[in-house]
């Protein structure tokens, strides 16, 4: 795999939307076909448990997004997703930590960290006006990708500059379904996210309604 030299970002450039940059230590052995096949055969027993183990250790982190919702609802209300989303105060550190853990499990350089962007919080672009509470103006996002790039990515980002609620579920903090529902409705105001976000809101509504009827 090509190894890119990490780029140090100056404070001035950090205020702009930046192109993706690959960051990795590159100290694991190279990938071999046999190790790649073994990792892929055992992927679901390696990556999700590694993320859960990390979140149980770092309690300030919160899982959110479709994968999180899937964990909290029954199978009929789940949907396919391509990533695991995590909010954390230190996204770069957590991403590199997971990359190293996956490389160790695979016995080769199976994962790398991709810096997606550092810039204004995306919530500013969705909801006009200033944030509800005063926070830093920069939003950081780092994604752990494993070869051959068709499995779940793990997407680490800083917390949103808006209200959210979380709950402890099976030892891991998740955004609550009620909070995820409200956020999906707000995201649906963005024309690029309308269909996807409304679909997520409706499936949460349906699950909560079913759960309420059982009481």
Per-residue pLDDT 10s for the chain (215 aa) are 444 434 333 332 333 333 445 555 556 789 899 999 999 889 889 999 999 999 999 999 999 999 999 999 999 999 999 999 999 999 999 999 999 999 999 999 999 999 987 766 555 444 444 444 554 557 899 999 998 766 789 999 999 877 899 999 999 999 999 999 999 999 898 888 899 899 999 999 999 998 887 76
Helix (H) or strand (E) holding 37: helix 33-41
Residue 60's contacts (CB-CB under 8 Å, 6 or more residues apart) are 88, 89
Rounded to whole angstroms, the Cα distance separating 205 from 211 reads 10
134 CB contacts (<8 Å, ≥6 apart)? none
What is the rounded end-to-end Cα distance, in angstroms, of the chain? 54
Distance CA 62, CA 91 (A): 11
- DSSP string for 63-115: EEHHHHHHHHS-GGG----SEEEEE-S-HHHHHHHHHHHHHHHHTS--EEEEE
Sign of CA dihedral 185, 47, 58, 99: negative
Distance CA(168)–CA(68), nearest Å, equals: 12
pLDDT of the residue at 24: 57
**Contact at 8 Å (CB) between 50 and 101?**
yes
Reference 105, options 156, 22, 38, 154; nearest CA is 38
pTM: 0.80
pLDDT at 147: 82
């Amino acid at each position: 795999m090509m190894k890119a030299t990490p780029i140090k970002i100056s404070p001035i450039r950090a205020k702009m939307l930046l192109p993706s940059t690959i960051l990795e230590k590159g100290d694991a052995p190279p990938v071999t076909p046999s190790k790649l096949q073994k990792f892929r055969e055992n992927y679901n027993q390696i990556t999700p448990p590694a993320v859960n183990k990390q979140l149980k250790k770092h309690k300030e982190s919160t899982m959110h997004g479709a994968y999180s919702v899937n964990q909290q609802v029954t199978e009929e209300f789940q949907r396919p997703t391509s990533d695991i989303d995590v909010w954390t105060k230190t996204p770069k550190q957590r991403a590199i930590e997971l990359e190293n853990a996956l490389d160790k499990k695979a016995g080769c350089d199976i994962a790398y960290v991709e810096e997606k962007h550092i810039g204004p919080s995306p919530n500013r672009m969705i909801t006009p006006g200033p944030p509800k509470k005063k926070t830093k103006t920069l939003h950081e996002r780092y994604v752990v990708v494993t070869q051959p790039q068709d499995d779940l990515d793990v997407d680490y980002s800083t917390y949103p500059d808006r209200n959210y609620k979380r709950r402890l579920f099976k030892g891991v903090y998740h955004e609550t379904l009620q909070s995820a529902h409200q956020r999906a409705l707000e995201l649906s105001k963005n024309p690029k996210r309308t269909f996807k976000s409304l679909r997520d809101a409706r499936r949460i509504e349906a699950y909560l309604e079913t759960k309420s009827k059982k009481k």
